Amino acid sequence: MKHQNQVVLITGAGQGMGQSIVRHFADAGANVAAVDINPQALAATVDELNGWIEGQIIAITANISQSDSVRDAIATTVEKFGRLDVIINVAGVGSIDTFIDTPDAHWDKVIGVNLTGTFLCCREAAKVMQSQGSGSIINISSTAALTGEGPSHYCASKAGVMGLTRSIARELASSGIRVNTIVPGPTNTPMMADIPEEWTQQMIDAIPLGRMGESDDIAKVASFLACDDSGFITGQNIAVNGGMAFI
């Protein structure tokens, strides 16, 4: 199978997009380190999948906005599986705030998880991958970074992820490490449940393909970026948004 024996670490694995990506890779034979801050959601995901998937899954509780926690998660992965081939940085948060009324705490949390957390995961994964001479780093941004249609902290954090990808892809290429970002449009995940229904319909109306994305749409692109089929692709931000916006 395409990901047979690959070692893949996936953050935000307890629900939504991350959970779907865990399922996709494990079913394709990968050994997966499923990482989430919520131990209950994470345990439920791993328990559900361990009965039928081809690869192995381990659950790691971690806070990706804290560097020590990220280092421990990656060390646990390498200790268990011996290497790290792919990291997929899915974990993200948001809140509905107008710019003027955004509390400092909300700004710090969204930037801390979505941008700083992605940076920390990329940095610590790259240290392992450099010693191996290979690896694939896959980040998750958002079409909101392109359109500005969303809370300022969320749009800023996701735009930062795209810039981070371009920079570190250049720096890490000589080490055999590829870095790319998937840029989803509105996708059916638990995060969307907090958005008012009329806003959701407006999003769908703005998508030329006429539907919201599904988590599996993102998982399939992650699968492509994680394998040798994309071996000459790095530093790219790939829009998966039904034609809602272009990069």
- Per-residue pLDDT at 214 exceeds 80: yes
Q: Any catalytic annotation for residue 154?
A: yes
Supply the pLDDT for residue 197: 81
Q: Where are the domains of the chain?
A: 7-240
Task: Give the CATH number of domain 7-240.
Answer: 3.40.50.720
Supply the pLDDT for residue 47: 85
Supply the pLDDT for residue 52: 63
- Rounded alpha-carbon distances, angstroms, from residue 26 to 29, 45, 93, 107, 190: 5, 12, 25, 34, 22
Task: Out of 8, 154, 221, 244, pick the active-site residue.
Answer: 154
Supply the pLDDT for residue 189: 84
Token pair in block for residue 148: 């500005």
By the 8 A CB rule, do 78 and 51 touch? no
What is the tens place of the pLDDT at every residue in 5-60? 999 999 999 999 999 999 999 999 999 999 999 999 999 888 888 766 666 899 99
Token pair in block for residue 194: 């907090």
Supply the pLDDT for residue 54: 62
Supply the pLDDT for residue 147: 95
Instruction: Compare 150 and 89 and report the one with higher pLDDT.
Output: 89
- Per-residue pLDDT at 131 exceeds 90: yes
Supply the pLDDT for residue 195: 74
By the 8 A CB rule, do 208 and 242 touch? yes
What is the tens place of the pLDDT at every residue in 157-174? 999 999 999 999 999 999
Instruction: Compare 178 and 189 and report the one with higher pLDDT.
Output: 178
Residue with tokens 């953050």: 11
- Per-residue pLDDT at 219 exceeds 80: yes
Instruction: Compare 151 and 196 and report the one with higher pLDDT.
Output: 151
DSSP 129-195: HHHHT-EEEEEE--THHHH--S-HHHHHHHHHHHHHHHHHHHHHGGGTEEEEEEEE-SB-SGGGGGS
Cβ within 8 Å of residue 152, ≥6 positions away: 97, 99, 102
Tell me the average pLDDT of the chain: 94
- Per-residue pLDDT at 113 exceeds 70: yes
Supply the pLDDT for residue 191: 73
